[in-house]
Amino acid sequence: MATSSAETRFRITATLTCVLAATLTLGACSAQTPGGDSAPTSASDTDACKRNQDAGTITYISGYGYSASAGQLDVFLAEELGYFDDLCLDVEINASGANGQQLVASGQAQFTALGSASDVMLAAANSKNLTAVATYGTTPPFSIFGNEKLESLTDLEGGSLGYFINLTPIASAMLDEAGVDVSKVEMVKMTNYDPTVVVREQVDAIVGYASNQPQSLKAQDLPFSEFLPADLGVEGTYNVMEVNSRFLDEHREVAADFMRASLKALQYCLDESDACIDKLAKLAEDNNQGAAFPRDQLARTWEVESAWVRESAGGNPGVQTEAMWEPEYALVKKYGDVKELPAIADMMDADLVADLYDGDTLTWPAK
């Protein structure tokens, strides 16, 4: 792994071995945050600082490297901008894309971000040690994009549809709402994220991420068709932060401060998009992932996803309610192939993030 000046205070763990075994000791709490807000000059002497230090290392797993997504870029930036330091939090970040849910559920990590509430629900059917503490939007991040010849999703009948890992409940609902006979569609599990396969007609369409692969095709000025959940009246959620339930029970105020720092960084990225993406791209480059996450791609992704954050029905970034999850909950029940699904209230903590705001303002320690 390359070494940079950023890494002197920000170490990214690149292997599963490191995330299970290594520790990271951060410096003393700083007096001034880069955003201009002040943190206590004597934070190391406060009860809150000692409480956060005593909690030990908090490990965050980034499910998709250095993606410019809420619940991911804000954690990187909170570390880079010193916000975790300001709150005396010792945070270790694993950017290798390891199985975040498994590590968090087992207690080997504390936080990870997921693509939608569907992912939380499907995991919750098999694990009782995960709690969602933030939902970043009410726009499903998925789309079905394909060859320009597709005029409607029913044109997939007799053709092929690619998917990653599994066919999401959102995608199943889209196909159902469009009246597609899925028995007539060949389902193909994709092995890479190259979106040009639809242009080259290797598959007719793919269930992908609206902020990523289709944006890449647009940037290359390649012709394609795209179908969004909203086009078919399908509702859902965008990105969810999960925490180990036992850690949340034992260190609730520490978990709140982790979210406070990451949400402050999220606001920075909403207000200062170019500077935020510059920093994220440099971190990716410094840690040998620059080719996978080039700046132009990160900028395209954040341009789309930042709008999803701003337009969230939850209001303030990260705030979640049971009502936000209800449409997707119904879809998981119908299409998720789960025997028992816990109640929404049992899968989320709706108060942790909401309580961090005073009106529309994220509370932050005064100088």
pLDDT digits (tens, 9 = 90+) for 271-294: 999 999 999 999 999 999 999 999
Cβ neighbors of 100 (< 8 A, separation 6 or more) are 61, 62, 63, 109, 112, 113, 114, 242
The CATH number assigned to the domain with range 6-139+237-362 reads 3.40.190.10
Taking CB atoms within 8 Å and a gap of at least 24, the contacts of 267-271 are: 267/317, 267/362, 268/34, 268/35, 268/77, 268/81, 269/73, 269/74, 269/77, 269/302, 269/306, 270/306, 270/309, 270/310, 270/317
Q: Are 308 and 349 in contact (CB under 8 A)?
A: no
The share of the chain scoring above pLDDT 90, in percent, equals: 78
Q: What is the mean pLDDT of the chain?
A: 88
Tell me which DSSP letter residue 285 carries. Answer: H
Among residues 219, 133, 139, 142, which one has the least CA distance to residue 174?
A: 142
Q: How far apart are CA 220 and CA 214, in angstroms?
A: 10
pLDDT band of residue 8 (cuts 50, 70, 90) is very low
Please measure the distance between the N-terminal and C-terminal CA atoms of the chain and give it in whole angstroms: 37
Nearest to 356 by CA among 246, 234, 266, 247: 266
Strand-pairing partners, residue 12, are 93
- Hey, do 6-139+237-362 and 142-232 end up sharing a CATH topology, with the first three levels equal? yes
DSSP state of 96: S
- Tens-digit pLDDT profile for residues 306-334: 999 999 999 999 999 999 999 999 999 99
152-164: pLDDT as tens digits: 999 999 999 999 8
Can you tell me the distance from the alpha carbon of 37 to that of 16, in angstroms, rounded to the nearest whole number? 35
pLDDT of residue 45: 53
Backbone CA torsion sign across 117, 316, 211, 104: negative
C-alpha to C-alpha distance for 311 and 360, rounded to whole angstroms: 14
In this predicted structure, what is the pLDDT of residue 280? 98
- Cβ pair 132, 144 in contact under 8 A: no
β-sheet bridge partners, residue 134: 241
**How would residue 3 be classed by pLDDT, with cut points 50, 70 and 90?**
very low
Measuring CA to CA, which residue among 68, 61, 96 is closest to residue 279? 68
The pLDDT of residue 140 is 96
Closest to 96 measured CA to CA, from 19, 156, 204: 19
Torsion sign, CA atoms 55, 82, 21, 63: positive
Fold of 142-232: D-Maltodextrin-Binding Protein; domain 2 (3.40.190)
Least confident of 39-48, 77-86, 193-202: 39-48
Query: What are the counts of helices (DSSP H) followed by strands (DSSP E) for the chain?
Result: 14, 13
Structural domain boundaries of the chain? 6-139+237-362, 142-232
| pLDDT at 124 (0 to 100) | 82
CA 119 distance to own-chain centroid: 11
pLDDT tens digits for range 193-243 = 899 999 999 999 999 999 999 999 999 999 999 999 999 999 999 999 999
Q: How far apart are CA 145 and CA 173, in angstroms?
A: 15
Which pLDDT belongs to residue 96? 79
CB 59 within 8 Å of CB 293? no
Residue 351: per-residue pLDDT: 98
Q: Is the pLDDT of residue 267 over 70?
A: yes
